[in-house]
Structure 1
């Protein structure tokens, strides 16, 4: 693993030899933020040693490095998923590479189904905690102590200081933003109404098919994490209508302006 991380890092440094401060993982329909990066260097995942290929509609499959709101950032326009057939080591490999490149904080974003019935499609939710219902963990197997400790503490997986900062930014922008618990399932099927009811009883406010493995690895690596979900639809059984990925993309496009304003504000004033 360490050798693969170094090979990928070396390749990226040959294209952009400057240490990024902040990492961004941009989920379905949210890759538009990558287009806002200035002095940008764009690298296709297929070019980077040991990076998988993104196969999901709405994921451009590019790594963008450059300047955003006065900060040097590295952004993934699209991520990798367990349901694509990748191991969680492959899914989370870019987080390891971003750590090696020098990031201290990471903002992970996703499109999620709303379980909390006070939410509406197009709303944004700051993730306060998560439930790993994928049935796997990226840290299974022998631990490399140079990458992180064997038993990382997940009691504050999402950095409280960054959560408060994001809330303050939303208030300054006059944006209604929720806070809540994100549950991750393996996918690729959407949940059944019974599964949604189960997740509600567990305390979940939103559900998706990503993010949690990346957050686990980020915390293992000592990276501060902020998570933001775009509520793209209401989860199964809440509204009497079928679920479709096209609806996810359509809704995240409608939420684009609020999402861009919020994340750019967060980055411009992010605390140390």
Structure 2
């Protein structure tokens, strides 16, 4: 009897360790998605992840159903100012959407798989396209505060140094063991966004470039900024890449956009202190422009 109890205890411990290392199972994700869908009348086809200060997009949603993260069993909770922590279901320009008002970050202490877990839930709920937004620091010397950068490519710095979001067991029902990532950010979606931005008169603040993710929560030193520039990055932030990689892994088309909220100092005598409050302030200043751009973009793209 004692041996039997020890065996069960050992099995439970092993399952717990698997959970800590690899996260939710395919069945867990399916069950979570179905439980969430029972609480809304909408069947979303488009997912939108709102970055720091960009949660106002949710105010444009018609017929909203709002579900706080804290009421969803086993769902993480956002702890960062500017990230409200709610799922918003509804219609945006007549199209069924789900928005994340607040995302999760590696620097909050969440493992990478948990940071990107909501994308798997979105896939299980039926979305086929993902829009991911963020606030970022400008590295490219031609950028200005308040510019909007379409993400053409990214550098997964945590992934390159051993913290890739796909590390661990792979369930092929989610996606392949070794997914290609050369085309994560869909070119057709990028082209539509450029056209829409030009039509709205935002061409003078529109940029396109490479986003690099760092772990955070510290902002970059001068030396780190120089290093990231040498890597070929145009903007830097602390999010987006895990969600985009998982979206690619699971077969979702992805469009990414960064609001340039500050500029990295590349010389010590030019160094300024960047604060999260500064980031939120620029987000507020550009809120209307971003909302108009994304709304018109959503209206234009096929789902």
TM category (shorter chain) comes to over 0.9
Question: Structure 1 residue 34 and structure 2 residue 61: aligned?
Answer: no
| 1:130 equivalent in structure 2 | 154
Deviation string, structure 1 residues 184-206 (Cα, Å, up to 9, x no partner): 00000011111111111111000
Greater CA drift, 94-103 or 42-51:
42-51
Question: Structure 1 residue 140 and structure 2 residue 167: aligned?
Answer: yes
- Out of 248, 258, 261, which is 2:292 matched to? 261
Residues 229, 252 of structure 1: alpha-carbon distance in 2 compared, 3 angstrom cutoff: same
Please state whether the residue corresponding to 1:40 is helix, strand or coil: strand
| 2:210 equivalent in structure 1 | 181
CA contact (8 A) 2:222 2:271 kept: no
Calculate the aligned-residue CA RMSD, in Å: 1.1
CA contact (8 A) 1:190 1:236 kept: no
Question: Structure 1 residue 249 and structure 2 residue 249: aligned?
Answer: no
CA contact (8 A) 1:182 1:207 kept: yes
Deviation string, structure 1 residues 165-189 (Cα, Å, up to 9, x no partner): 1111111111031001000000000
Give the Cα separation in 2 of the matches to 1:49 and 1:240.
44
Question: Structure 1 residue 12 and structure 2 residue 36: aligned?
Answer: yes
Give the Cα separation in 2 of the matches to 1:117 and 1:252.
20
CA contact (8 A) 2:34 2:125 kept: no
Deviation string, structure 1 residues 36-92 (Cα, Å, up to 9, x no partner): 111000001111122111000000000000000110000000100000000111101
| 2:5 equivalent in structure 1 | none
- Out of 164, 168, 172, which is 2:191 matched to? 164
Question: Structure 1 residue 82 and structure 2 residue 106: aligned?
Answer: yes
TM-score by length of 1: 0.98
**What stretches of structure 1 of length at least 5 have no aligned partner?**
none
| 1:193 equivalent in structure 2 | 222
Question: Structure 1 residue 221 and structure 2 residue 245: aligned?
Answer: no
CA contact (8 A) 1:38 1:68 kept: yes
Please state whether the residue corresponding to 1:73 is helix, strand or coil: strand
Please state whether the residue corresponding to 2:189 is helix, strand or coil: helix
| 1:21 equivalent in structure 2 | 45
Runs of 4+ in 1 over 2 A off after TM superposition: 236-240
Give the Cα separation in 1 of the matches to 2:84 and 2:202.
28
| 2:178 equivalent in structure 1 | 151
**Larger helix fraction of residues:** 2
Give the Cα separation in 2 of the matches to 1:57 and 1:180.
27
Using the TM superposition, give the Cα deviation of residue 271 of structure 1 relative to its aligned residue in structure 2, in angstroms. Answer: 3.2
Q: Pick the structure with greater CA Rg.
A: 2
CA contact (8 A) 2:42 2:89 kept: no
TM-score by length of 2: 0.88
Give the Cα separation in 1 of the matches to 2:100 and 2:184.
20
Number of residue equivalences: 272
Please state whether the residue corresponding to 1:15 is helix, strand or coil: coil
Give the Cα separation in 2 of the matches to 1:32 and 1:39.
16
Greater CA drift, 236-245 or 122-131:
236-245
